[in-house]
């Protein structure tokens, strides 16, 4: 495992005086070189570590430190084609180099999204913008409203009536880690971040590790453009998430829970921090400690090992596995790491029993799943859907159909499949159905691709996204996604056709050669598109 | 445990990666191509060309895994050379080549292929089908550093340099910036090598698989006539070096990865500082001083002159009027011959060496406590230690390769205790840093012992079973007043208590010490008290513990082993003992040996002033520059009738000689050096002797025969034959032969069958039978007692990374470009109180004299303490150091000098 020295030095100050937060804070206030060097000295590391980390993230890298406003560059806003207009409207308020980008701010339901002054907004017209940016006065908050619903016993979307009694459930399990693991095992709860790994296994593995220091880490870096279900949970159901982490801590013997929340969700950071303060004030979690670490703009941090490196202040480059986080996680200590939604299920499982949970959904995909519908739906929003439900039902009964002609959906984020609209009737919302049809459940975000949106442009967006977000460590992703992007651009702008054999070689290299799911996953939607939209795409490629 | 390679089952080792497994079974390092992988680095998995197909069953459905970081599981079927993998590798190389200069795909004319060029050739040069896109060809090369250059247009971003910097050297100078396609190697705060804090170790250059990082000698692409493995001359670590020779000239050095001592690493001295060897200043001809000027003479003339003068002096004043000083830079064989010449051919025990100015107290003290004056353990034990106790040493500078290992252990969080008056880099990283007033070592050790006893953390079983006189020690320590010692040492009781507890509670606590222990008035006592700590906690005789002196010069251990000391002959036998005298006489084939113990170097100098010593024969030692109180040394030298010096260069000492004999450097001869862990390693001749020089060993053999003793191994210096003789004389080297030394040497004791010894005193079996506790009170140095009032500052001297002691060699390389002056480190407020600015030149003076030196504000020293180095003859810091020495061994107290300093008007 690389970077053991830096990791260990960072661990000396751990979370109280966290290296990553220090680097972020200095960057965000555009501190001097001397300040950065002083920080490096204080951590007994060299300058290159601090520079290397700061230069990685969208919000901390030097060339972005003067940005005053960040326009959403997420997939949903792109297919909605709202952002050129927004950019034009911002002209009255900002110089061009003051306008930066954010890779999805979780307003896929309304689009026209941007982040400004610690808040996210949507504004489709100059008038709306004028409401938000009343220069020079402070901008006021704008609620992030969307529809919320469910089609079964609500687990994630049910209201918590009383925080104290909600947390009192933990008492029953405090001294019995095996019981928690048994219930979670019986529930068949699989990780909700996309990989679908059985959650009980992680608890069990960390419980078995002998180490005085263990951690619970919540991956709240919901980076998939189009997904905002974790955002919903953090902003509307923070205690479900915190409770799950707290019980996981009790179970495996960890006294610290860290939520790594993406910086593009400023409201989530606020709401979770408020919930943590509430817990402390009500003294509901003993000496268990929570800590929120805000991300600084990097998709790859959603990859679990990159996320751990990020918290440590290292460059969030993907680690090799094994060792797995359960053995060598945060600061090299045993760590339970899972997604927001996974943790949010724990309370219901413990309250109602693992079997009750398992009886919901399908055999292999138990429980419910939050689905994010984008602004092309007549009723965009977050819906809690029992696994195994027809996608058609979700789209029409909940989404209430579409505002425009849609030809396909990208389901499950940028690495999820591109599903042509005619396949929707064949699919149900669960891991197996999508997998067996050559797609992915992922994090169950739905981004619509309207009929008039060129598929080649969508592919370019995917490759560009990957090239932008690649950590740069492994060769296929670092060079391959960049060359892929260049070819897709050239094919649109120049008299150039992409060598199809070369392109297939590139996709294979990415798919089988990449270190993590970013480079490894991007060929899937591209191959879907090449299969289902061959007619539209073929003239960009040589015919061989 | 079995796994299958191409459907054939083989045993795999626990934890072995697929890559290691396949390489081992197929006995081919290139069985699977790699780019980012280096055996010495943590597995990284970035290039992916080592990917293989694996299946759970024979010819089953395969998955693709990177073999470098995937452990081999039981029953796995590995298919590593399938068409699919060949295609993947070629496609990856194609991608890499889209951002790599075309003219570097094949080796340049007259140059060896780089590892990357070899990998391209192995995988097959792909046809690059991608349209021209963005690239990094316009990154400016960085050529400002004296040794290391970068041309990142050739960089393939494998991170090997970045990882080597952190994982091999323990620095983080090299880093990566940006992300994705824009990643870019940076140095420090995105600056140049020269501007960064780079320590110039060259680990990055050696691991870089392209020419993105090179050294000025372009070592990695040299097509050498031959590459000779030898042992570095620059410190007691004993790094192995691969020296490349073209047309009889040294063209570059790399560190062999198979070397047990340094595993492919070395420092800037070992790797780069070789240019001294044919520097114009090298002495090339023998010279005799006539009318105050040196004149070139023939070897015969020089030998005749020396012989007649020595015989004249011997006849007139007796053999004891002659003294010899040997060199810890010379080989074992040469040191052996030198002491033999003085004892047998001259007939006196007046033989001493530079251990006198460094580790004599270690040898003495550890002999008193344990029975053997050498490191108890091996450096590789560092991996097993869970506490490291570093006392008076700065190995990051003095012993860089061992220093880097210790530093990494510190960084990774091993319990670490540093005792030093100077806040070194390691002190900064340590768990406990006890910044003592210089000279209070005995006091702080008594404090540590006190708290170990008080906290009841002694290992009573070990004490009872294997040691003696603990009770006396305990009683003594218990009477001490901690508050008094707290004031004396300047270290809080609470901090000492915590450090003591940490040391005693560790399962395996490993001690290292340097000259900060020995170069003191109470040097030997300090060594014995350190031995006490190890014994009272049971930290002797197992892996990961012990007392491990960081020997200063490359062969200071060996020189002592060979008998370069006035009281012990080869193999540490007491020359006062008549049986021993008989033993040596038998072995050397002479009638009798000199009877009386000889003079130590300081005694020789005093005897010269008294008119009792008339001649000094010096082999490779700059006594004038390196011994304390220079004026005293000069006075002594002036009183001598004959001074003979064998040297590489004109030094302050050879300037005063009557005869100067040009010696060959270590590149020009065979022999052995013994490192700080008792490891005897080969020095192999790389090139022919420069000019008319001769190896020191040859000169001594020539001189002996003229003095009437014919060396039994013949009149030509032949290291292998002399080793045979040494093995016959020194009991603990019985099994030593040139052949057996092989590539990685042997650690003594070496049994008759050739088995060597990694660890001494195993399970409490002390060499002297039983370990002995000693007890001492702190005693203020006479230097402070006599001069402390008048000269209220304490000056302590040390070394810098770039230079090797008096710098005769390193100053004649580009190391001098990196660091070209000695400075005086002063606590800012101390300087400001005297109205002195940073970088101002001041006069620093003691009871002996004064020197002018520029100061550096530094908070690495406490108030009242000054620190400097002694590398540059322009400063000649020993003009002000004093004559106080360790009571038992007379090792000078370089570390405590009462001085004051003032503005130069």
pLDDT in tens, B160-189: 999 999 999 999 999 999 999 999 999 999
Average pLDDT over residues A264-269: 96
CB of B487 less than 8 A from some CB of A? no
Cα distances (angstroms) measured from residue B47 to each of A317, A539, B35, B101, B303: 14, 33, 6, 18, 63
**Among A404, A431, A403, A406, CA closest to A417:** A431
Task: Inform me whether the C-beta atom of residue A45 falls under 8 Å from chain B C-beta atoms.
Answer: yes
Q: Please give the backbone phi and psi of residue B566, each rounded to the nearest 5 degrees, phi first.
A: -75, -15
Q: What is the spatial distance between Cα B482 and Cα B702, in angstroms, rounded to a whole number? A: 60
Please compute the mean of the pLDDT values over residues B890-902 and round it to a whole number: 95
Q: How far is CA A526 from CA A262, A289, A374, A485, in A?
A: 26, 43, 21, 12
Q: Provide the pLDDT for residue A140.
A: 56
Q: Is B197 exposed, middle or buried (0-12, 13-18, 19+ CB in 10 A)?
A: middle
Cβ-Cβ contacts under 8 Å, A55 against chain B: 177-179
What would the mean pLDDT of A509-527 be, rounded to a whole number? 97
For residue A481, pLDDT over 60 is answered with: yes
CB contact under 8 A, B46 and A467: no
pLDDT band at A143 (very low <50, low <70, confident <90, very high): confident
> Which residues from B are below 8 Å from A52, CB to CB?
175-177, 186
Distance CA A76, CA B567 (A): 88
Say how many C-beta atoms besides its own lie within 10 A of residue A6's C-beta. 26
Closest CA to B721 of B775, B675, B670, B662: B670
Condensed to tens digits (0 to 9), the pLDDT of residues B717-740 reads 999 999 999 999 999 999 999 999
Neighbours of B754 (CB within 10 A): 15
Quick check: A505 contacting B, CB < 8 Å? Answer: yes
Question: Which of B34, B35, B36, B46 to mutate to test binding with chain A, by most A CBs within 10 Å of its CB?
Answer: B46
pLDDT at position A175, please? 87
The H-assigned helical ranges of B348-469 are: 360-369, 395-398, 400-411, 425-429, 441-454, 460-466
Cβ-in-10-Å burial (0-12, 13-18, 19+) of B609 comes to middle
* pLDDT at residue B669, as a whole number: 97
Tell how strand B659-662 and strand B287-290 pair up.
Answer: antiparallel
Q: Which two tokens stand for residue B183?
A: 């990643």
Helix, strand, or coil here: A38?
A: helix
CA distance B115 to B154: 13
CA-based R_g, chain A, Å: 23
**In the Cβ-directed half-sphere of A163, how many Cα atoms lie within 13 Å?**
16
What residues form DSSP beta bridges with B420? Answer: none
Whether the Cβ atoms of residue B266 and residue B200 lie closer than 8 Å to each other: no
Q: What is the average per-residue pLDDT within B191-197?
A: 97
- In chain B, the percentage of residues whose pLDDT exceeds 70 is 100
Smallest CA–CA distance, residue A400 to chain B, in Å, is 40
Cβ atoms < 10 Å from Cβ of A402: 16
CB-CB under 8 Å, B177 with A496 = no
Please identify which residue in the block is written with the tokens 């570093």.
B390
Residue-wise pLDDT tens digits, B592-643: 999 999 999 999 999 999 999 999 999 999 999 999 999 999 999 999 999 9
Q: How far apart are the first and last CA of chain B?
A: 79
Q: Half-sphere exposure of residue B454, counting CA atoms within 13 Å on the CB side?
A: 20
Q: Are A475 and A138 in contact (CB under 8 A)?
A: no
* Residue B244 and residue B224 in contact, taking contact as beta carbons nearer than 8 Å: yes
Helix, strand or coil for residue A427? coil
Tell whether the model's pLDDT for residue A268 goes beyond 50.
yes
Strand order in the sheet with B62-66: B8-11, B2-5, B77-79, B51-55, B62-66
Please compute the mean of the pLDDT values over residues A1-11 and round it to a whole number: 97
Span B444-473, average pLDDT? 98
Banded pLDDT at A487 (limits 50, 70, 90): very high
Token pair for residue A384?
């809690």
Q: Which residues pair with B391 in a beta bridge?
A: B419, B513
Enumerate the residues of chain B whose CB falls inside 8 A of the CB of residue A475: 46-49, 92, 95-96, 157
Q: Which residues on chain B are in Cβ contact (under 8 Å) with A2? A: 41-42, 44, 159, 163, 166-167
Pairwise CB contact (< 8 Å): A502 & B173: no
Q: Taking Cα atoms as reference points, which of A51, A283, A69 lies closest to residue B179?
A: A51
CA distances for A296 relative to A96, A262, A307, B788, angstroms:
21, 7, 11, 58
3-state SS class at B517: helix
> Could you tell me if A155 and A306 are in contact, meaning their C-beta atoms sit under 8 angstroms apart?
no
pLDDT of the residue at A383: 98
CB atoms within 10 A of CB B505: 15
Cα angle B789, B794, B798; round to 5: 160
The stretch A374-397 carries a mean pLDDT of 97
Nearest to A515 among B45, B183, B190 (CB): B45
Q: B186–A51: do the CB atoms touch at under 8 Å?
A: yes
pLDDT at B91 over 60: yes
Question: Is the ipTM beyond the 0.95 threshold?
Answer: yes
Nearest chain A residue (CA) to B410: A5
Residue B593: partners with Cβ closer than 8 Å, 6 or more residues away? B343, B344, B569, B575, B581, B582, B584, B585
| pLDDT, position A136 | 46
Element (H, E) at B120: helix B115-123
- Identify the band that residue A138 occupies on the pLDDT scale cut at 50, 70 and 90: low
Q: Which pTM value belongs to this model?
A: 0.96
**What pLDDT sits at residue A144?**
82
Nearest alpha-carbon partner for B327 in B621, B732, B551, B761: B621
Q: What is the mean pLDDT of residues B831-856?
A: 96
CA angle, residues B335, B355, B569, in degrees to nearest 5 = 50
Share above pLDDT 90 across residues of chain A, in percent, rounded to a whole number: 94
pLDDT digits (tens, 9 = 90+) for B122-171: 999 999 999 999 999 999 999 999 999 999 999 999 999 999 999 999 99
Give the closest of A49, A468, A475 to B46, CB-based: A475
CA distances (Å), B298 to each of B279, B693, B696, in order?
22, 11, 16
Using DSSP, state whether B704 is helix, strand or coil: helix
CB atoms B175 and A52 under 8 Å: yes
B167 contacts B207 by C-beta, under 8 angstroms: no
What are the tens digits of pLDDT across the range A89-101? 998 899 999 999 9
Residue B152 corresponds to which tokens in the numbers above? 């990142």
Q: Indicate the helix (H) or strand (E) that contains B51.
A: strand B51-55
Gap from B289 CA to chain A (nearest CA, Å): 53
Q: How confident is the model at residue A134 (pLDDT cuts 50, 70, 90)?
A: low
Q: What does the pLDDT read at residue A131?
A: 85
Round the average pLDDT of chain A to a whole number and report it: 95
Average pLDDT along chain B? 96
Helix (H) / strand (E) element for A329: namely none
């Amino acid at each position: 495992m690389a970077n053991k020295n830096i990791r260990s030095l960072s661990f000396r100050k751990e979370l109280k005086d966290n290296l990553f937060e220090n680097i972020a804070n200095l960057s965000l206030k555009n501190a001097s070189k001397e300040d950065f060097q002083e920080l490096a000295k204080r951590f007994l590391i060299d300058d290159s570590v601090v520079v290397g980390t700061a230069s990685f993230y969208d919000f901390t890298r030097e060339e972005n430190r003067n940005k005053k406003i960040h326009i959403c560059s997420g997939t949903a806003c792109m297919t909605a084609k709202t952002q050129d207009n927004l950019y034009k409207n911002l002209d009255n308020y900002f110089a061009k180099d003051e306008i930066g980008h954010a890779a999805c701010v979780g307003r896929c339901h309304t689009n026209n999204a941007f982040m400004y002054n610690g808040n996210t907004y949507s504004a489709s017209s100059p008038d709306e913008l004028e409401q938000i940016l009343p220069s020079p006065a402070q901008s006021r908050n704008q609620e992030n409203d969307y529809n919320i619903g469910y089609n079964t016993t609500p687990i994630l979307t049910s209201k918590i009536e009383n925080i104290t009694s909600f947390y009192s459930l933990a008492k029953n399990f405090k001294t019995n880690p095996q019981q928690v693991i048994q219930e979670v095992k019986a529930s068949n709860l699989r990780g909700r971040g996309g990989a679908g790994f059985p959650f009980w296994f992680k608890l069990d593995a960390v419980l078995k590790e002998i180490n005085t220091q263990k951690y619970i880490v919540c991956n709240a870096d919901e980076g998939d453009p189009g997904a905002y279900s974790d955002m919903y949970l953090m902003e509307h159901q923070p205690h479900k998430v915190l409770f799950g982490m707290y019980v996981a801590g009790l179970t495996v013997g960890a006294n610290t829970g860290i939520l790594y929340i993406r910086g593009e969700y400023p409201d989530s950071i606020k709401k979770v921090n408020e919930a943590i303060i509430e817990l402390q004030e009500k003294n509901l979690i003993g000496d268990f400690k929570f800590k929120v670490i805000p991300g600084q703009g990097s998709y790859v941090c959603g990859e679990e090992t990159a996320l751990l490196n990020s918290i440590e202040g290292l460059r969030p480059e993907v680690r090799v596995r094994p060792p797995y986080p359960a053995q060598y996680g945060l600061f090299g200590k045993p760590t339970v790491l899972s997604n927001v939604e996974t943790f949010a299920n724990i309370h219901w499982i413990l309250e109602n029993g693992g079997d009750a949970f398992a009886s919901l959904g399908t055999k292999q995909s138990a429980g419910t799943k939050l689905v994010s519908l984008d602004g092309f739906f007549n009723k965009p929003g977050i819906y809690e859907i029992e696994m195994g439900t027809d996608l058609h039902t979700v789209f029409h009964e909940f989404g209430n159909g579409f505002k425009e002609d849609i030809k396909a959906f990208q389901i499950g984020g940028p690495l999820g499949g591109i599903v042509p609209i005619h396949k929707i009737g064949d699919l149900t919302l669960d891991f197996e159905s999508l997998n067996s049809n050559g797609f992915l459940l992922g994090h169950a975000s739905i981004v619509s691709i309207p009929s008039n949106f060129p598929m080649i442009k969508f592919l370019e967006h995917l490759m560009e996204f990957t090239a932008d977000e690649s950590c740069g460590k492994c060769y296929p992703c670092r060079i391959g996604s960049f060359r892929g992007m260049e070819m897709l651009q050239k094919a649109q702008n120049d008299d150039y056709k992409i060598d199809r054999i070369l392109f297939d070689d590139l996709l294979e290299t990415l798919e089988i050669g990449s270190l993590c799911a970013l480079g490894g996953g991007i060929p899937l939607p591209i191959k879907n598109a090449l299969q289902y939209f061959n007619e539209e795409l073929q003239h960009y490629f040589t015919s061989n | 445990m079995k796994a299958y390679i191409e459907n054939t089952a083989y045993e795999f080792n626990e934890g072995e990666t697929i890559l290691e497994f396949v390489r081992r079974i197929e006995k081919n390092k290139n069985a699977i191509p790699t780019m980012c992988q280096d055996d010495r680095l943590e597995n990284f998995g970035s290039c992916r060309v080592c990917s293989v197909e694996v299946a759970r069953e024979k010819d089953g459905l395969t998955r693709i895994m990177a073999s470098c970081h995937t452990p081999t599981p039981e029953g796995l079927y590995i298919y590593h050379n399938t068409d699919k993998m060949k295609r993947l590798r070629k496609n990856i190389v194609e991608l890499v080549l889209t951002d790599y200069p075309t003219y570097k795909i094949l080796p340049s004319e007259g140059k060896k292929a780089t590892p990357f060029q070899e990998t391209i050739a192995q995988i097959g040069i792909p046809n690059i089908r991608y349209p021209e896109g963005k690239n990094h060809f316009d990154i400016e090369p960085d050529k400002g550093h004296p040794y290391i250059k970068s041309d990142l247009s050739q960089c393939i971003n494998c991170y090997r340099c970045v990882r080597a910097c952190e994982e091999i050297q323990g620095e983080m100078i090299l880093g990566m910036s940006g992300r994705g396609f824009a990643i870019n190697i940076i140095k420090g705060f995105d600056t140049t090598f020269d501007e960064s804090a780079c320590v110039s170790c060259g680990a990055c250059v050696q691991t870089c698989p392209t020419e993105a990082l090179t050294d000025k000698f372009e070592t990695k692409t040299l097509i050498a006539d031959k590459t000779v493995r030898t042992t570095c001359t620059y410190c007691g670590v004993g790094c192995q070096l691969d020296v490349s020779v073209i047309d009889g000239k040294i063209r570059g050095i790399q560190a062999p990865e198979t070397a047990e001592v340094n595993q492919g690493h070395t420092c800037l001295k070992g790797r780069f500082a070789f240019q001294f060897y044919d520097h114009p200043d090298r002495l090339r001809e023998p010279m005799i001083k006539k009318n105050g000027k040196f004149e070139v003479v023939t070897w015969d003339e020089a030998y005749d002159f020396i012989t007649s003068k020595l015989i004249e002096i011997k006849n007139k004043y007796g053999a004891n009027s002659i003294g010899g000083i040997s060199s810890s830079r010379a080989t074992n064989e040469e040191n052996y011959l030198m002491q033999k010449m003085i004892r047998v051919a001259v007939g006196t025990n007046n033989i001493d060496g530079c251990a006198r100015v460094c580790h004599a107290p270690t040898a003495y003290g550890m002999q008193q406590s344990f029975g053997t004056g050498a490191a108890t353990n091996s450096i590789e034990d560092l991996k097993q230690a869970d506490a490291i106790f570093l006392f008076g040493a700065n190995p990051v500078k003095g012993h860089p390769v061992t220093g880097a290992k210790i530093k990494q252990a510190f960084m990774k969080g091993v319990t670490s205790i540093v005792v030093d008056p100077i806040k070194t880099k390691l002190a900064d990283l340590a768990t406990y840093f006890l910044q003592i007033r210089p000279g209070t070592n005995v006091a702080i050790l008594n404090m540590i012992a006190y708290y170990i006893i008080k906290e009841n953390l002694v290992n009573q079983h070990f004490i009872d079973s294997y040691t003696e006189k603990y009770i006396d020690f305990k009683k003594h320590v218990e009477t001490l007043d901690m508050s008094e010692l707290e004031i004396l040492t300047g270290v809080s009781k609470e901090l000492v208590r915590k450090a003591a507890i940490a040391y005693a509670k560790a399962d395996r606590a490993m001690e290292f010490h340097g000259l900060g222990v020995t170069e003191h008035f109470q040097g030997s006592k300090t060594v014995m008290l350190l031995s006490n700590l190890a014994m009272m906690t049971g930290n002797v005789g197992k892996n990961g513990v012990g007392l491990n002196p960081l020997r200063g010069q490359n062969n200071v251990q060996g020189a002592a082993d060979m008998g370069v000391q006035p009281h012990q002959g080869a193999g540490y036998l007491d020359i006062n003992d008549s049986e021993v005298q008989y033993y040596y006489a038998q072995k050397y084939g002479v009638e009798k040996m000199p009877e009386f113990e000889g003079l130590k170097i300081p005694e020789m100098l005093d005897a010269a002033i008294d008119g009792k010593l008339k001649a000094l024969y010096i082999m490779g030692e700059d006594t004038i520059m390196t011994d304390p109180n220079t004026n005293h040394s000069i006075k002594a030298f002036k009183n001598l009738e004959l001074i003979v010096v064998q040297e590489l260069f004109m030094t302050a000492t050879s300037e005063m000689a009557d005869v100067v004999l040009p010696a060959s450097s270590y590149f020009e001869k065979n022999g052995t050096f013994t490192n700080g862990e008792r490891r005897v390693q080969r020095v192999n001749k790389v090139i022919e002797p420069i000019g008319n020089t001769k190896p020191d060993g040859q000169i001594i053999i020539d001189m002996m025969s003229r003095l009437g003793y014919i060396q039994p191994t013949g009149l030509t210096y032949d290291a292998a034959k002399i080793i045979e003789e040494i093995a016959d004389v020194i009991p603990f080297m019985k099994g030593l032969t040139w052949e057996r030394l092989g590539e990685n040497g042997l650690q003594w004791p070496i049994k008759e069958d050739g088995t060597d010894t990694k660890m001494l005193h195993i399970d409490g079996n002390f060499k002297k039978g039983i370990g002995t506790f000693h007890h001492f009170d702190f005693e203020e140095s006479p230097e402070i007692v006599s001069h402390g009032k008048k000269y209220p500052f304490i000056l302590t001297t040390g070394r810098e990374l770039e230079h090797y002691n008096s710098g005769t060699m390193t100053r004649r390389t580009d190391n001098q470009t990196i660091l070209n002056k000695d400075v005086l480190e002063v606590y800012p407020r101390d300087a400001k109180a005297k109205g002195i600015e940073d970088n101002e030149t001041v006069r620093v003076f003691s009871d002996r004299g004064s020197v002018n030196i520029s100061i550096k504000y530094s908070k690495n020293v406490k108030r009242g303490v000054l620190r400097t180095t002694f590398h540059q003859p322009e400063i000649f810091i020993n003009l002000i150091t004093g004559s106080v020495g360790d009571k038992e061994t007379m090792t000078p107290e370089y570390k405590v000098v009462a001085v004051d300093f003032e503005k130069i008007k």
